[in-house]
Structure 1
Amino acid sequence: MIRAIALLAPLALLAACTEEPPEPAPVETAIPEDLQGVELPEDVSEEVSIGTPMGERVATIGLLNKRNNLSQDLELRPGDQERIGDVVIRLRACERTAPWEFEKDEGAFVQVLVRERGTENDFRKVFSGWLFKNKPAINVVEHPIYDVWVKSCAMEFPGEE
């Protein structure tokens, strides 16, 4: 008898756990009264930018061919691309943290295209994303032959010497 109860108790607990919990009620929020009358600024993102305009920034990108251990530095502006052998490197954007921020870093949005074997001009995109100088493990170009990394992003902020 005790054995039967010992076996049935876990089954009863398991049956009780199969029901899904009820959905939580949504929490209503309201804009605070002191912010309700505030006029929002117009979108001026095109007109005002902090620091060097994107088109004037210069990124230094490192490229390593692991087969022959040749390394090159490429200086690109956003919108530029450069072909080195079987690789095309495109730079879309380049940023660095402002001088008043504590954690300094530099990064670039890079696209890497590699020529397909046996073709003349067939390139396949192997990477597209942000690469960071001080945190290279966040995003990595995974390719058996080529390694690409950010070395710097040259830009200035207002008030910087």
Structure 2
Amino acid sequence: MRIVTGAVLAGLLALAATAQENAVEIGTGAVLRGLDKVNASVTDMDLQSGQSTEYGRLTVQLNECRYPEGDAAGDAFAFLTITDTASETELFSGWMVASSPALNALEHPRYDVWVLRCKTAG
């Protein structure tokens, strides 16, 4: 079980307050970026909501992507579940914010995953 630090909690509360003040839309999917730190390769992952993909030894599932009304490339935030493919151990489950990827990040010795933007139907 992960302990949420005060700074992360404050950031998430600020994000929630901002979301309440400004209208948000739900995207049809998201574009994520993965970094393999061992061989320095970068991969973009184009996922629909509810879809998952394998990235190296990880399974990355996009549950939902939200963004400021009318600006899908704006401050997108996505709910991701990331598991170790071999052991099926959940490594990350929560919201990642595109503009602040370190705020609530996957902690893994080999891989980084972060949100670039939401996708829309149009």
- Listed as ranges, the matches of 1:133-148 within 5 Å are 133-148=98-113
Paired residues of 2:79 and 2:95 also in contact (CA < 8 A): yes
Aligned amino acid, residue 112 of structure 1: I
**Which of structures 1 and 2 has the bigger CA Rg?**
1
- Listed as ranges, the matches of 1:57-136 within 5 Å are 57-99=28-70, 104-115=74-85, 121-136=86-101
Secondary structure of the corresponding residue to residue 107 of structure 2: coil
Aligned amino acid, residue 87 of structure 1: L
Measure the CA separation in 2 of the matches of 1:95 and 1:51: 6
Aligned amino acid, residue 113 of structure 1: T
Runs of 4+ in 1 over 2 A off after TM superposition: none
Match of residue 10 from structure 2:
none
Measure the CA separation in 2 of the matches of 1:63 and 1:69: 10
Query: Across the two proteins, how many residue pairs are aligned to each other?
Result: 97
- Listed as ranges, the matches of 1:5-84 within 5 Å are 51=25, 57-84=28-55
Aligned amino acid, residue 102 of structure 2: A
Of stretches 73-82 and 104-113 in structure 1, the one that deviates more from structure 2 is 104-113
TM-score (norm 2): 0.70
Paired residues of 2:29 and 2:64 also in contact (CA < 8 A): no
1:77-114 deviation line (CA, Å, top 9, x unaligned): 111000133111000000101139xxx41011011112
Aligned amino acid, residue 141 of structure 1: L
TM-score (norm 1): 0.54
Secondary structure of the corresponding residue to residue 126 of structure 1: strand
Paired residues of 1:96 and 1:155 also in contact (CA < 8 A): no
Gaps of 5+ in 2: 1-23
Per residue, is there more strand in 1 or in 2? 2
Secondary structure of the corresponding residue to residue 151 of structure 1: strand
Higher relative contact order (CA 8 A, sep 6+): 2
Gaps of 5+ in 1: 1-49, 116-120
Measure the CA separation in 2 of the matches of 1:79 and 1:99: 22
